[in-house]
Chains A and B, each alone.
Chain A
């Protein structure tokens, strides 16, 4: 689980090009969207592709992402329960 969380943080910083945020700045329970890390609807779409590509999880409705992408903690839990690769 810890490895997965670390991997997610690294991917998020790199893929979303978060220039001013370091991996170690992200806490497991930080809110990713809005006032938290500042991610927005386009980032949610980027994360949906990451779920599909890296973990074989397909979301068909971007609204589903809202709850799943709440924090690294929540996201890692969801991935470990639903991953197909």
Chain B
């Protein structure tokens, strides 16, 4: 059994940057990625804001050197870009020299192509290559292919907005149990009309910049992103003498079992997930130096999550903030995006500001961190919650 789960590489592409360095620079300068939508033609373009990645599909295709015959969804493009950066960052030259797996998360999958060609598929042969790219596992297979992962454990998790946190959790368990020496974990989701309209029907899309934990929060901004982490066992770290960015120290997963979409009023599932993660990490609440909250800026989430944080941390609430005001809610990818941000916070000893906050919520008296702040960091908790009652918490630490 490997005790430690080391993070040795990261890659990310989001609305605030096309790689790790650019993302960190935006977080430091408070530069949000939220804007009007430009790449999807939707009737709602004037009433929503999104976290969109600058590149067009064509540009992404060129960056990856793919022939025009490819049948990649935008989810797959973004996933490959972030996963490749993670491999490079981890200094991996031969992916198959250790037992390597890939666990990816997505909720949109190939829906962007399906919605673009749905009725054309039946009549236009040139679009038919995208039909088999619809299912959620397709982008994962493509990422594995691009990374050269063969004959391996490659799978996909879809638990709505907690998906990527669960990918990290499974990856960590596979390393700990010795089933894998190395595993690339993370998630990718692109924007789509399907999700824009879906969240619109739930009336939880803000028409302006999302403001997590604010009394007058109007809902979330959808975002698109991909991020991957390379997790490696003690054995690999030792024999390759690898620099370790941080460790996955704890994880917890619970179900709210309350409602198909809404979180319970007192955040039962969220509380259980945080408590379980602390237990796995063998830490107590006072050991947490920062919480990167799920904080989607919907009325329901922020109230429920805030109450759950109060239940777990009682009178000693650590600094917390949501980075969704920077990136938007990137759905299945969110847990991986925020994992990268958590590791960067550990490395640089900083806390990111919770942008757009103006008014204290009246239900409780906890306030997120509002300014960018330097602070000695040692252990960070990251929350991700989703539809279907799925609640997940990951704890990252500097030391094993």
Give the B-binding residues of A (Cβ under 8 A).
Answer: 40-42, 45, 48-49, 61-62
Separation in Å of the A68 CB from the closest CB of chain B? 15
- Shortest C-beta distance, B332 to chain A (Å), equals 22
Return B156 CB to nearest CB of chain A, in Å. 27
Q: How many residues of B contact A (CB 8 A)?
A: 7
Cβ contact of B201, chosen from A41, A45, A61, cutoff 8 A: A45
Determine if B203 and A45 form an interchain contact, defined as CB atoms under 8 angstroms apart: yes
Query: Which residues of B approach A to under 8 Å, CB–CB?
Result: 201-203, 259-262
Contacts of A49 in B (CB 8 A): 201
CB distance from B48 to the nearest CB of A (A): 13
- Residue of B201, B203, B260 most packed against chain A (CB within 10 A): B203
Residues of B contacting A45 with CB < 8 Å? Answer: 201-203
C-alpha gap A62/B202 in the complex (Å): 9
Q: Which residues of A contact B202 (CB under 8 A)?
A: 45
Residues of A within 8 A of B261 (CB): 42
CB–CB A48/B260 < 8 A: no
Q: Least Cβ distance of A64 to chain B in Å?
A: 11
Knowing that A41-B259, A45-B202 touch, tell me 10 more A-B residue pairs with CB under 8 angstroms: A40-B259, A41-B262, A42-B260, A42-B261, A45-B201, A45-B203, A48-B203, A49-B201, A61-B203, A62-B203
Query: Complex formed: what's the CA distance from A62 to B201 in Å?
Result: 11
State A45–B262 Cα separation when bound (angstroms).
13
Report chain B residues within 8 Å CB of A48: 203
Measured between alpha carbons, how far is A63 from B261 in the docked complex, in Å? 17
Complexed CA–CA distance, A42 and B260 (Å): 9
Minimum Cβ distance to chain B for residue A52 (Å) = 11
Query: B202's closest neighbor in chain A, by CB?
Result: A45
Residue of A nearest to B204 (CB): A62
Task: Report chain A residues within 8 Å CB of B203.
Answer: 45, 48, 61-62
Q: How far is the CB of A2 from chain B (nearest CB, A)?
A: 31
